[in-house]
Amino acid sequence: ELMYTDPKRYSFLFQSYVQLTMLQLHTYKSAMPYKIMERSVFSARCFIENMKRTKLLKDVELVVLEDWYDWCIQNANIVTDLI
């Protein structure tokens, strides 16, 4: 709710938490050989880009989110199919 009432203030916090929970979902060990997810850690890139274009993020916040995203992609061994 805070994100929608004051997006300039809460976009960074919200997106940081979204990326954390997406990483947790992607790396969760499942007994099944597949997972069905509405969104993935990869969709975070689209939201970060939108926040950048709409100037909801400060430069330093953008750098942190991009670095966090890049780390997730490079280190978490996330594999997707059927995007």
Name the residue type at position 47: F
Burial bucket for residue 69 (CB in 10 Å: 0-12, 13-18, 19+): buried
61 an active-site residue?
Answer: no
Q: Which of 38, 49, 61, 66 is flagged as catalytic?
A: 38
Q: Give the number of other Cβ atoms within 10 Å of residue 11's Cβ.
A: 22
Catalytic residues: 38
